[in-house]
């Protein structure tokens, strides 16, 4: 396939909220920026976010004395003190400004009677500070940024599937991608790259995430030598639909919804007597899982009820119309008339590519923002409403930082021999990988069987509760699967929109990410935030108040420590 090289000063991989916000910022600074996305940006997984985005606007009558400092405290406490406090303070300070900017750009936030942006209570927050647009906040924010990207004439390559970084002497100089609509691989050289590809939820079988949330960007960086941070911290959302794990927003509980067990009890009073259903997600998911394990699920089965009936049809139709539709279509239950069967479901990857507050990684020229990165502002447990905020705050900051780095520097054109040669090498490398896979054909192992077993292993061995023996068994399964992955074959070669090739290529990265989660989880001998070990039930600040860094060393992760930035808030016991 004839390969061509395209050059831009800045390439942003991923067209969700973080990627678009980064691109818009760089464009405004006069940078030639291109967004590369596997799907049209309006289809990105950011659009599935429901409940809202946090900012201390102090619009809510009960929140008139809210402040970025209080938002920072709630976030750090919610993180079980693993978040970097300087990063959190930066994010909460930037929050009101970026929300007003989204409003000025047309985001249709819901409104209070006085015309100001409406805010609702959310889990783990001391004040009602979650700004929302009904229960479709992600969809509204995403379309708003897509619209702005069109207005700013940001170059977009739509339906290109990035597989590799182009690296010269340890400096990132572009990416290589499969052109889904035209077929073949293509190099996109650049003076800097921002990775913004989202989370890795789909390494689990029980994820709320979009099917494309496979951790691709993190895996590509990891393979190129950039460390991943805190991968063992996986968020389980308390309320995924029972049969599909589709998200039922935390906004449902923010508006007053109850969690009910098989005995008809509001069981959260046993676990978080003050916060009740609005305890943070890690605590609420553990509470539900405990009810299920102790036989108090509905009919003794593996689910509980999210009961909204007492809110009444009017409130449900006005504030929660989206989750009502999802519940009707995907679970066959109308929340106005019946309680909704829910189960804790993998939801968010707290860990990711290790970055500073401007998205910089350890590789010069390479930035990351959004869920594929880890600043870290979520630490061991993310608060609801902080992920949308992270995408916009750190998308903007990484776009600005990359622009500042590139401004005034002459863009090295395609002709720059070293870059062109490196691009050719990287292209040849991925084409050789594909040829090897294609040569095995049906004689190779079945990539879809490996995928299914990996997802099941992650759910079974690295779920809400974890324990050493069970995790070791899981790690062994993953190692076996990694070995099998090295022998899989392509069933379909070449052409356009080759799903077989894309899904097979992404499998290895998914396994690398899964192994980083597993290794980090087994090593961390404490319980902190989402990482709950039955064999080490207490948080251990003496030994473990530190980040995990995973480097890919051969086939296995090599783990190191990194200190946590403290200083503003003294670690204390977390009660709600």
- Which residues participate in catalysis according to the annotation? 237, 253
Per-residue string for binding with another protein, 48-67, x by CB under 8 A? x--------x----------
Candidate list 7, 8, 43, 253; residue touching another protein; CB under 8 A: 43
Cβ 254 to another protein shortest distance, Å: 18
Residue 258 bridge partners (DSSP): 307
Whole-number Å distance between alpha carbons of 337 and 307 = 10
Helix/strand/coil for 532: strand
Kindly indicate which of the ranges 62-70, 296-304, 322-330, 394-402 contains the residues binding another protein, using the contact rule CB under 8 A: 322-330
Query: How many residues sit in the footprint of another protein (CB under 8 A)?
Result: 58
Candidate list 32, 86, 103, 334; residue touching another protein; CB under 8 A: 103
Question: Which token pair is 191?
Answer: 């003076």
- Residue number with CB closer to another protein (204 or 544): 204
- Residue number with CB closer to another protein (198 or 359): 198
- Residue number with CB closer to another protein (119 or 189): 119
Whether 523 contacts 548, CB under 8 Å = yes
Binders of another protein among residues 190 to 229 (CB under 8 A) are: 210-212
- Residue number with CB closer to another protein (210 or 377): 210
Whether 553 contacts 560, CB under 8 Å = no
Whole-number Å distance between alpha carbons of 379 and 210 = 23
Whole-number Å distance between alpha carbons of 528 and 353 = 20
Where is 61: in which H helix or E strand? Answer: none
Whole-number Å distance between alpha carbons of 567 and 85 = 7
Cβ 25 to another protein shortest distance, Å: 16
Per-residue string for binding with another protein, 333-372, x by CB under 8 A? ----------------------------------------
- Residue number with CB closer to another protein (156 or 515): 156
Per-residue string for binding with another protein, 72-101, x by CB under 8 A? ---------------------------xx-
- Residue number with CB closer to another protein (163 or 249): 249
Whole-number Å distance between alpha carbons of 232 and 506 = 20
CA-angle at 208, arms to 102 and 480, nearest 5°: 130
Candidate list 1, 40, 337, 525; residue touching another protein; CB under 8 A: 40
Whole-number Å distance between alpha carbons of 116 and 376 = 31
- Residue number with CB closer to another protein (204 or 233): 204
Whether 392 contacts 98, CB under 8 Å = yes
Candidate list 246, 252, 357, 457; residue touching another protein; CB under 8 A: 246
**348 HSE (CA, 13 A, CB side):** 29
Cβ 16 to another protein shortest distance, Å: 11
Per-residue string for binding with another protein, 425-464, x by CB under 8 A? -----------------------x----------------
Q: Comparing C-alpha atoms, which of 387, 395, 357 is closest to residue 35?
A: 395
Whole-number Å distance between alpha carbons of 174 and 176 = 7
Query: Residue 396, interface with another protein (CB under 8 A)?
Result: no
Binders of another protein among residues 10 to 39 (CB under 8 A) are: 39
Per-residue string for binding with another protein, 465-504, x by CB under 8 A? -------------------------xxx--xxxxxx----
Helix/strand/coil for 370: helix
Q: Where are the alpha helices (DSSP H) in 3-158?
A: 17-28, 68-78, 85-104, 137-151
CA dihedral of residues 126, 128, 129, 132 (deg, nearest 10): 140
Kindly indicate which of the ranges 6-14, 23-31, 104-112, 184-192 contains the residues binding another protein, using the contact rule CB under 8 A: 104-112
Whether 371 contacts 199, CB under 8 Å = yes
Candidate list 4, 30, 106, 543; residue touching another protein; CB under 8 A: 106
Candidate list 60, 77, 136, 482; residue touching another protein; CB under 8 A: 136
Cβ 96 to another protein shortest distance, Å: 8
Residue 156, number of CB atoms within 10 A of its CB: 20
Candidate list 7, 8, 139, 484; residue touching another protein; CB under 8 A: 139
Whole-number Å distance between alpha carbons of 431 and 185 = 8
Tracing tokens 């590809």 back to the chain, one arrives at 197
Cβ 105 to another protein shortest distance, Å: 6
Q: Cα Rg for the chain, rounded, in angstroms?
A: 23
Whole-number Å distance between alpha carbons of 468 and 40 = 42
Whole-number Å distance between alpha carbons of 477 and 172 = 34
Cβ 306 to another protein shortest distance, Å: 16
Query: Residue 112, interface with another protein (CB under 8 A)?
Result: yes
Binding site for another protein (CB under 8 A): 39-40, 42-45, 47-48, 57, 99-100, 103-106, 108-117, 133-134, 136, 139-140, 143, 147-148, 150-151, 181, 210-212, 243-244, 246-247, 322, 325-326, 329-330, 448, 490-492, 495-500
């Amino acid at each position: 396939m004839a390969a061509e090289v395209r050059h831009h000063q800045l390439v942003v991989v991923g067209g969700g909220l973080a990627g678009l916000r980064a691109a818009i910022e760089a464009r405004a600074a006069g940078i030639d920026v291109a967004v590369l996305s596997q799907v049209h940006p309006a289809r990105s997984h950011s659009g599935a976010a429901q409940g809202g985005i946090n900012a201390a606007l102090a619009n809510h009558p009960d929140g008139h004395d809210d402040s970025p400092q209080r938002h920072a405290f709630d976030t750090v406490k919610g993180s079980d003190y693993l978040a970097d406090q300087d990063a959190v303070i930066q994010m909460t300070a930037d929050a009101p400004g970026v929300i007003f900017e989204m409003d000025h750009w047309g985001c249709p936030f819901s409104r209070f009677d006085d015309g100001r942006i409406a805010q609702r209570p959310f889990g783990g927050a001391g004040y009602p500070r979650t700004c929302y647009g009904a229960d479709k906040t992600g969809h509204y924010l995403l379309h708003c940024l897509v619209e702005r990207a069109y207005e700013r004439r940001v170059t977009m390559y739509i339906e290109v599937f990035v597989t590799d970084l182009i690296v010269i002497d340890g400096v990132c100089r572009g990416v290589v991608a499969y052109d889904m609509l035209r077929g073949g691989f293509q190099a996109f050289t650049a003076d800097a790259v921002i990775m913004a590809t989202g989370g890795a939820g789909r390494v689990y079988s029980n994820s709320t995430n979009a099917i494309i949330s496979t951790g691709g960007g993190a895996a590509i960086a990891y393979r190129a030598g950039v460390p991943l941070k805190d991968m063992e911290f996986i968020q389980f959302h308390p309320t995924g639909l029972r049969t599909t794990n589709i998200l039922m927003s935390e906004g449902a509980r923010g508006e007053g919804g109850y969690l009910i067990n098989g005995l008809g009890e509001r069981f959260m009073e046993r676990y978080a007597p003050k916060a009740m259903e609005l305890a943070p997600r890690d605590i609420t998911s553990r509470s539900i899982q405990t009810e299920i394990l102790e036989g108090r699920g509905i009919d003794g089965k593996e689910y509980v009820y999210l009961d909204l009936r007492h809110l009444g049809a009017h409130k449900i139709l006005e504030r929660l119309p989206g989750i009502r539709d999802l519940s009707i279509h995907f679970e066959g239950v109308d929340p106005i008339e019946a309680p909704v069967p829910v189960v804790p479901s993998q939801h968010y990857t707290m860990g990711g590519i290790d970055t500073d507050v401007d998205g910089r990684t350890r590789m010069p020229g390479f930035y990351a923002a959004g869920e594929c990165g880890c600043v870290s502002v979520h630490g061991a447990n993310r608060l609801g409403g902080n992920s949308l905020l992270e995408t916009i705050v750190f998308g903007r900051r990484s776009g600005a930082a990359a622009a500042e780095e590139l401004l005034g520097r002459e863009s090295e054109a395609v002709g720059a021999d070293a870059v062109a040669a490196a691009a050719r090498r990287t292209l040849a490398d991925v084409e050789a990988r594909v040829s090897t896979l294609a040569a095995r054909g049906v004689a190779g192992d079945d990539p879809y069987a490996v995928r299914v077993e990996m997802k099941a292993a992650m759910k079974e061995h690295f779920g809400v509760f974890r324990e050493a023996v069970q995790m070791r068994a899981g790690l062994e399964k993953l190692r076996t699967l990694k070995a099998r992955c090295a022998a899989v074959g392509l069933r379909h070669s070449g052409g356009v929109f080759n799903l077989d090739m894309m899904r097979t290529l992404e499998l290895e990265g998914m396994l690398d990410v899964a192994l980083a989660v597993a290794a980090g989880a087994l090593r961390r001998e404490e319980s902190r935030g989402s990482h709950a070990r039955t064999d080490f039930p207490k948080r251990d600040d003496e030994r473990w108040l530190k980040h995990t860094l995973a480097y890919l060393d051969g086939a296995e992760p090599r783990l190191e420590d990194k200190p946590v930035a403290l200083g503003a808030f003294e670690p204390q016991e977390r009660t709600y």
